[in-house]
């Protein structure tokens, strides 16, 4: 059995920004030498998510707007600490901070339209995603 770990760093230009990372994850899986197993793709921050969905600009804008409705900017209790990012924590919870991608025959075993995204909700500073592959 093999385990292989890498980290991806992000520093987005905008506070909220979605970044496609399918190719980075696929390259890491090649470097791992794992033919059959899983790769965990997991944000290491509590105001960012990782999700799998469509690489289509209109939909990506729809997701931003939809999340603004479900987790609006507001006067959260959390802001008493001096923070102003309460809604970014709630967006992390809706979107979930991680996905597990299956590896088959040395490749990401994704459906035809599935793309992996890093979803930043409180950016403009350095943040990290862990990639850990486990398998044979």
Residues contributing to the site for its own copies (CB under 8 A): 1, 3, 5, 36-38, 40, 42-46, 51-54, 56-59, 61-63, 66, 70-71, 76-81, 86, 89-90, 92-100, 102, 104, 109-114, 128, 130, 132, 134-136
Cα separation, 51 vs 96, in Å, equals: 7
Task: Provide the minimum distance between the beta carbon of 11 and its own copies in the complex, in angstroms, as a whole number.
Answer: 15
Task: Provide the minimum distance between the beta carbon of 24 and its own copies in the complex, in angstroms, as a whole number.
Answer: 17
Sheet containing strand 17-20, edge to edge, reads 17-20, 115-120, 48-53
Residue labelled with tokens 């033919």: 35
Q: Which is nearer to its own copies, 15 or 60 (CB)?
A: 60
Residue closest to 106 by CA, chosen among 32, 25, 35: 35
Task: Provide the minimum distance between the beta carbon of 21 and its own copies in the complex, in angstroms, as a whole number.
Answer: 16
Alpha-carbon torsion 98, 24, 53, 49, what sign?
positive
Task: Provide the minimum distance between the beta carbon of 122 and its own copies in the complex, in angstroms, as a whole number.
Answer: 11
């Amino acid at each position: 059995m093999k385990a292989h770990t890498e980290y991806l760093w992000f520093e987005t230009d905008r506070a909220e920004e979605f970044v496609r990372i399918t190719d980075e994850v696929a390259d890491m899986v090649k470097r791992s030498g794992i033919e059959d197993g899983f790769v965990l793709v997991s944000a290491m921050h509590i105001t960012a998510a990782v999700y799998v969905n469509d690489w289509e600009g209109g939909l990506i804008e729809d997701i931003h707007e939809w999340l603004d409705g479900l987790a609006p900017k507001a006067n959260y209790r959390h802001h008493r600490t001096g923070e102003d990012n309460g809604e970014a924590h709630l967006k992390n919870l809706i979107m979930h901070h991680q996905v597990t991608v299956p590896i088959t025959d040395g490749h990401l075993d994704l459906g035809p339209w599935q793309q992996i995204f890093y979803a930043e909700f409180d950016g403009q500073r350095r943040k990290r995603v862990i990639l850990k592959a486990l398998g044979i």
